[in-house]
Every structure is written in C-alpha cells, then in structure tokens.
Structure 1
C-alpha cells in the first residue's frame, strides 16, 4: 500500500530550547520511503541521527519563538503481512541480544505485575502468534476507547483498572500482557491510515518467528496502513517531540492518504 503523509507542527518556545524530534518515517524492510521533505521555519541547524538497527530517525535542534515543522513523505508498505497465528514463540536462548530488553518491565508497562493474570487467562492458548492474537481480542472485548480517562502518566496497571483509554493506553496494556507471556514486545509510534481524527498513533510490535510483527491493539487502522516512526520500551521512548523546557503546541495537522496506482484502480 502506498501512502502520502503530511504533518505540520507549530510550537511556541519561550527561549532557546533544545529539542529531539521523531516525526520522520523509519527505514525498514517492509516500508520504502519513495520521497520526503523536512522543513523548519524559521530555519535552524539540525543534527540528524539514524539508528542502523531499527532504521528510525530523529533530529536535534535548538529552537526559539514560534516554529513550524513540516514533514511530507510518500511511503510504500508493499504487501505487509498481518500477524500469523502460527508464528513461533522463541525460547529466550534463541533471541537476538537487542531483543532481550523488550521482555522486561518498563516505566509504563510493569509486565511483572500481570504475570499471574496473563498466565491464567491465556495459558490454554498454544503458539506465540495465537497468544498475541488472544491478547488483542481480550483488549478489544474489555477496553473502551475513550478520550479524557487517562493522562501522560497513566500506566498499564491503571488502564487495567479503568478498562478505558486511548491508543497509548491500549498499547501499554497490550505490551504488559504480551511480555507477561514471555514474548518480546515494544511500543511503536506511527502514522496511520483511517484514523479519525488524524493524529500520531501508538501501536506495538511483537518478536516471533525471527522477526517483528506490527499490531494495532485499538483496531482503528489496518496494519498495511501503518507507517513506523520510532520504537522503544514504551511511550517514554517514542515521543514525537521532547524538549528541555516546557513549550506550547499551537497547532498540529496530520493527514495520511492512500495513493492508488493504475493497477489498484483496475483491480477496484
């Protein structure tokens, strides 16, 4: 699937403020960046950082006053496969070293607190992929997507109690339950097709059968309509803007549109 992404972020900074931004699409085997443009007005010197392991990209800068950040890209996800129920769960001894941190509890995903519940609820499900799909079914059945129930400090424990939240809350609880089943899981920030209203989206990935699989615990966007930006242990690692001092978001606009080529139109 080919997607056109347009993001405009306008911020107000009281004085010279150092920031780290993660808004560019990651370079990964299942999403090809066909074209892109990043601009900042007024202009600023940027330091670009790219993680060779994940393909995610961030930039650093010192900004002041009112600043507008624009990012436009066309990304082709090809035929991204959804998680298979037959995807194999690895023994820990088989896992790559860089995957091991995603087995452990983190700030917003205290998976150790969910081990008894997860083992009791999902112990009869055989196979790694099937277990993760059962977790996603459980989230869909037991959580309501509701704005205003949670806040920036809400953890998976609180979401489990409230049984409601937004995408980051679904993701944190999904990660906690998945790790409690001894399956590596990491948070992912993404652009998402069909999201209403359009916004940055939080989903997660699981490591099964030798690779990472994208899943959307909210079921608001198709997996082929997701464009990875950044990944990490939880939301603390994937914020699209981190600043050393407080700043004000004055405006945010995000659009994700599917582009149809001639072959798509003929198939339709």
Structure 2
C-alpha cells in the first residue's frame, strides 16, 4: 500500500460580474483508493455544490464567484491499495464479451480519433499477440516516438496531430495511446492524476494524464509519457479523454494563475505503507 499527501492551490482573476467554475480536483474514492483525510478551503462568501459520479467516482465542485480575485485550496491524504498482476496472464477481451458499460471506451472521442488511426494501428501492432504485452508495446511506441515538450500543444491538439507532429505533453501521449488501443478494439480511457516521481528539472509538480486499458475484466494503468512512478499515481478523474475530465471548466472571462501543487509520499512501516516504487507487474487501482 502507498500513502500520498496531495495539496493544491488555485487562483483566478475574474473580469466579469460573475463567473462559474466546475472543478474536478478532489481525490476519487474507489474500492482501491481511500481518502484518509481532506480539506477544501474557499472564501466564506462562496457556496459550493457537490456532485459525485457513482460510476466513475469523479467528484465535481460547482461554484459561482463575483468579479475580483478568487483563491481556493484543497489538501488530502490518500491511501492506494494497488492490484498487481502478472501481465503474461492478462488477455484482451473479444468485443462480444466486453461489458456494456465498457463499450463506450471503444469508440472515437473528441481527442482520440481511433477511427482515423486504424490502418496505422494495424500496421504497427496488428501482427502482435493480443494481450498485456501488446498494450505495453503500444505504450513503449508512444513513449519512444513522441518527445515531451512543455507548452508545445494546446486544447485543440488531438491524437492524430500528435502522431504527425511527434511532440506533446502528458495528455497528448495519453490521447495517442488511447486512440491506438481503441483502433485495435481494446477499451481504453484517461485518468487524471499528479506527476509523482517526475524529474524536478521538468518544473514544479503538475497535473498529469495517464491511460487505463481494460484487460481480463480489470482496468490497468499505463503512463505513456514515462515521467511518473506509476504506483505513486492517485486518481482524480476518469473519462474518455481530457474533454471529460478537465480539472477546471470555466464559464466567463477569467484569467487563471499557475496552479500550486504538492505531492508527497508518506510512509508507515508498522502499517505496511511504503514508498511508491517501479514494478514490472500490471497495476490496477480500480
């Protein structure tokens, strides 16, 4: 088991009379991720409405704020009980046997145009033995053929752009891996997290996008950018792609400031809580 402390501060300058925000910043509560403690701090005059998606466990906050400065903070301690499996025994599931609630993750989505990458996917990976190691090969292809470059893409960049331009940030790596998997009839989706274990030379801690792929009846975690330690990835949001799980959807004229994020591993030997480490096992946190 691993325990992580997550702290976040968001600040905005609101130019309109009012602006609305839908935030997806709180750690998800799942069967394998337990929120030990948490605190959300907002200005006293700001009311918040909460909603939790009972299927995906996304926890949304909706707030309306007046013109001027807005700052809020969130802090949580989260325990993650990973499922670790031998990839050699994880199989791709025939479409006829995929559960109905998983089928949407086979279809093209806003940033993952799998229908436009079918020929490419079949040429590169169609001859490989189906299963975990084919999916891992897709992850490795994306990691090795796309260069991580901060601020090289924008909110319009999709998987087909990335396969051509070969540069991007974590969400672009994730979108491309998801699109390739779906093009091969392998269900795949995005999870938002934080870049625990990233090289400090890359800058301050930041939000992070990773991939989950459905194999042998479970969702398994992959980081195609390779910047994080996967056992240190806590779950915030889950969706088809980044369009489903922005950490902040903003309605109104607003100037955001750079988020301040901290992510730290906590240990407790007596409780069996250790540091997040790299593993060759397949990882599931769902």
Length-normalised TM-score, structure 1:
0.94
**Deviating runs (4+, > 6 A) in structure 1?**
264-268
Which residue of structure 1 aligns with residue 96 of structure 2? 93
Instruction: Say whether the 8 Å CA contact 2:153–2:169 is kept in structure 1.
Output: yes
Match of 1:60 in 2: 62
Q: Counterpart of 2:73?
A: 70
Equivalent residues in 2 for 1:97-246, closer than 5 Å: 97-195=100-198, 196-246=203-253
- Give per-residue Cα distances to partners, 1:164-212, cap 9 Å, x unaligned: 1100110111111111110111111112312353011011111111111
Contact 1:83 1:129 in 2 (8 A): no
Q: Report deviation, 1:18.
A: 1.5
Is 1:250 matched up with 2:251? no
Alignment partners' CA distance in 2, 1:193 and 1:148? 20
Q: Distance in 1 between matches of 2:195 and 2:231?
A: 9
Structure 1: give runs of 5+ residues left out of the alignment: none
Structure 1 counterpart of 2:40: 38
- CA root-mean-square deviation: 1.9
Q: Report the more deviating stretch, 194-203 or 258-267.
A: 258-267
CA distance in 1, matches of 2:75, 2:60: 15
**Does the CA-based 8 Å contact 1:85-1:127 persist in structure 2?**
no
TM-score after normalising by structure 2: 0.88
For residue 236 of structure 2, give the secondary structure of its aligned residue in structure 1: strand
Name the SS for the 1:237 alignment partner: coil
Q: Is 62-71 or 2-11 further displaced after alignment? A: 62-71
**Structure 1 residues 41 and 80 mapped into 2: Cα distance closer, same or farther (>3 Å)?**
farther
Alpha-carbon distance in structure 2 between the residues aligned to 1:107 and 1:249? 24
From 10, 19, 22, the equivalent of 1:20 is 22
* Rounded Cα–Cα distance in structure 1 between residues aligned with 2:85 and 2:204: 24
Q: Distance in 1 between matches of 2:19 and 2:194?
A: 26
Q: Distance in 1 between matches of 2:41 and 2:266?
A: 23
Gaps of 5+ in 2: 276-286
CA deviations over 1:53-111 (Å, ceiling 9, x no partner): 12120111111221111110001112443782431111122222221111011111100
- Distance (Å, rounded) in 2 between the aligned partners of 1:138 and 1:200: 23
